[in-house]
Chain A
Amino acid sequence: MFNKILIPIDLKHADNLERAVFTGAYLAKQGDIPVVFAAVTTAAPSGLAHNPDEFRSKLAAYAETQAGKHGIQATGHAVFSHDPTIDLEDALLRAIQETGADLVVMATHIPNATDHFWPSNGGRVASHADVSVFLVR
């Protein structure tokens, strides 16, 4: 049914995203579908990496670990953003285009009052992506 599953991942808070990763991996395993873990980074150094190359390596290592853990085929796809605080959704939409994924499995929070001012990342991706989006709470 699907050819590629994209799972957005925040490497710093990967533990909080286990349900989405598990769901995506489960679906991938059922249909033998390759998974892409997409993560957004900045050019500036962050707590995770000194530069984009290092970030890319860490993401690749994460994808490899998940591939072994869930018995799936997984790769990493890093997306560069000048201002990820604001442009996270745009960066993820770009990742969908670049990877050719046709299903996004994404963690999202339970709606709250702030969503009226700053909609959730998952909600915005679901609103703007032209592929199927599975939000996991």
Chain B
Amino acid sequence: MSDNAANQGIPDPEGPANVIDTEYEIGQDNIETRLGPFNLDIHNPVFMVSGLTIALFTFLTMAFQNDVGPVFDTLRKWLTSNLDWFFIISGNIFVIVCLALIVTPLGSVRIGGKDAEPDYSYFGWFAMLFAAGMGIGLMFFGVLEPVYHMAFSSPLGVPSPFDGDGNLIEENVAAAKAMGMAATIFHWGLHPWAIYAVVALALALFSFNKGLPLTMRSVFYPIFGERTWGWPGHIIDILAVFATLFGLATSLGFGAQQANAGLDFVFGIPISTTAQVVLIIGITAVALISVLRGLDGGVKVLSEVNMLIAALLLLFVIIAGPTGTLVSDFGANIWSYAREIIPLSMPFGREDDGFRQGWTSFYWAWWISWSPFVGMFIARVSRGRTVREFVICVLIIPSIVSVMWMTAFGGTAIEQVLTNEASQVHEYVIASYSPELSLFGMLADLPMASITSFIGIVLVIVFFVTSSDSGSLVIDTITAGGKVDAPVSQRVFWCTFEGLVAIALLLGGGLGALQAMAVSTGFPFTIVLLMACYAIIKGLRDEPR
């Protein structure tokens, strides 16, 4: 006999949930062994094939980068230019599916069973999903993108407010500014979060409600049936590991370059590969400490600290920047976004190829290539929420935060550019394109620049840590066949491996090439996500509501 339910540590009761009846036992394909003093519990063949493929790709890219680099780059450009319609239509489908889930009765299904209770508070949950999936991007693109779209991209053919000589054309300013913000928010609003939400919801549903392992392949059980546990599933999981590790490692390499540029800008620390390698080692070391402290003691705490610092920086920019304009622009930007979201979502009948293919299509592929990692991490921490609550919190609230961030950082930068031709943002975005310095340029023209720039550098670094630690946990789980309690040495391995790949690519070349390759995985994963939409609806219809 057991203690009564109320006396147990498990949230209770879990209530009815429609568990899938499969003969597959989680971990049945795993190899459990010891390597010296270390225990191993790894999925055969996902762990070995993923590790070896990644090592092989890294080596080949470094050894033959003049041959391999252009191939990967051409592949990425071909996909996002010729299949832009496919990415854009798919992105729209993901948003529509998510919005439909909010308003239909399917939204009342609870992740983890009818009576499951949430594992995390709203703040902890929200901090983790934001810090894992978008923090780095907001730091890099928050200033750059609004100014760039206003000045150069001409989304939907809206003309630039500058003439060929860089002089301001007053009558174009209002429309260009509104479109610059709308286009930026379009890339950081509902669409990317819908991509993450689809993957996260599918994984959470098939794991916590259906009892399947917490790994990408489980989403395909309604389609592949028992073949999910064979090679079709192996390939999906290997591709997820591949996209996640290369996505993280290449971002880490580029992030070290951005942080180094920031350190040079603020403290005069010269830009060098040595400094960048030291930064990668530092980021990886902190990420290692975080994963060794675990999901609650490391990843969650660091994410919360990160979000608090980011919120303080946001508040500072609002107060120190053109406060009145920013406050009124917040509503105006939401309105611009609402007005332009449908025209910007149109895949055909447009002439802004550079913007649509070079930015929108690229972004959708990028978000989708990150979705196995971010989606799986969100899934792991989302048990106990209803589908409606989940979609609102993963789709709507982060989109509003993105609007706030872009309004504050982008709006301040646009104001600086339009009112002062000698502004540093003008210098780094318009006059001489140095995107990695755009954030620091904007902060430099506000009070207390040295302090806020330092905080900016710290935030860039810590956002990389929060992506690196959560990414290591995700890869560890996938390569352990969906087990979340694999031996600690495995998460140490993946975290270290990611840092080593980043250093190898930084020193040997090939960061850009492998990032292009990682983004290219967005194409197969778009197909995966479309199937996931079907699986979600089918899976939810079987659940007790």
Name A residues whose Cβ lies closer than 8 Å to a Cβ of B: 36, 41-47, 50-57, 59-60, 63-64, 75-80, 82-87, 91, 94-95, 98-99, 112-114, 118
Contacts and interface: CB of A to CB of B under 8 A. Distances in A.
A95 B9 CA distance: 8
Contacts of B263: none
Contacts of A80: 9-11
Contacts of A47: 25-28, 483
Contact of A85 (B19, B208, B486): B486
B116 to A, nearest CB: 8
B interface secondary structure, majority: loop
Given A56-B8, A77-B7, A44 B214 contact: yes
Contacts of B12: 52-53
Nearest to A45: B211
Contacts of B3: 36, 75-77, 99
B295 interface: yes
Nearest to B15: A53
Given A44-B208, A45-B211, A60-B2, A51 B113 contact: yes
A45 B380 CA distance: 11
21 contacts: A43-B11, A44-B208, A44-B482, A45-B208, A47-B25, A51-B17, A51-B211, A53-B13, A56-B8, A59-B2, A75-B3, A78-B9, A78-B10, A79-B9, A82-B294, A83-B485, A85-B484, A85-B487, A91-B9, A98-B8, A98-B9
Interface residues of B, number: 47
A44 B380 contact: yes
B134 interface: no
A112 B37 contact: yes
A89 to B, nearest CB: 11
B264 interface: no
Nearest to B206: A45
A83 B296 contact: yes
B75 interface: no
A77 B482 contact: no
A56 B5 CA distance: 9
A64 to B, nearest CB: 6
B484 A63 contact: no
Contacts of B13: 53
B29 to A, nearest CB: 11
B212 A52 contact: no
